[in-house]
């Protein structure tokens, strides 16, 4: 059974930092792109960041560029999201997920196969 377990969320003041972790089991971690997707209270899903299999490629949504970093440790089957200079608008449930990307003749196929249950980040004074 595939399991993704996030941790590290909590209450933090604006301008503060948090480091989220995601531990994966039940699949070959090093073979997968990994991503963070968030859901703000009462809002929809928003992709946040992705990292490729060996960590050499990293992508971020524009709103977190320069503030968040993504990393992974394949030996520990873990992915991390370092969040700095946090803002109220970063308040959300943060999910880690495996991501499949295929660039086909008929278009791009990009979807999230497996997800964790999420860890809640609240930015408030």
Positions that interact with other proteins (CB under 8 A): 4, 39, 44-47, 59, 61, 95, 97, 100, 104, 106-118
Q: How far is the CB of 92 from other proteins (least distance, A)?
A: 13
d(CA 119, CA 81): 12
Placement of tokens 């503060």 in the chain? 16
Decide if 75 contacts 23 (C-beta within 8 A).
no
Q: Cβ–Cβ contacts within 10 Å for residue 100, how many?
A: 12
CB of 16 or CB of 115, closer to other proteins? 115
CB of 25 or CB of 109, closer to other proteins? 109
Q: How far is the CB of 74 from other proteins (least distance, A)?
A: 22
């Amino acid at each position: 059974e595939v399991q993704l377990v996030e941790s590290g969320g909590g209450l933090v003041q604006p301008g503060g930092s948090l480091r989220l972790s995601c531990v994966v089991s039940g699949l070959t971690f090093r073979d997968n792109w990994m991503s963070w997707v968030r859901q703000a209270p009462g809002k929809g899903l928003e992709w946040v960041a992705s990292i490729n299999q060996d960590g050499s490629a990293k992508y971020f949504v524009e709103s977190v560029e320069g503030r968040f970093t993504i990393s992974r440790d394949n030996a520990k089957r873990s992915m991390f999201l370092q969040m700095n200079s946090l803002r109220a608008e970063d308040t959300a449930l943060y999910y880690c997920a495996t991501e499949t990307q295929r660039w086909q003749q008929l278009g791009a196929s990009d979807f999230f196969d497996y997800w964790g249950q999420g860890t809640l980040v609240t930015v408030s004074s």
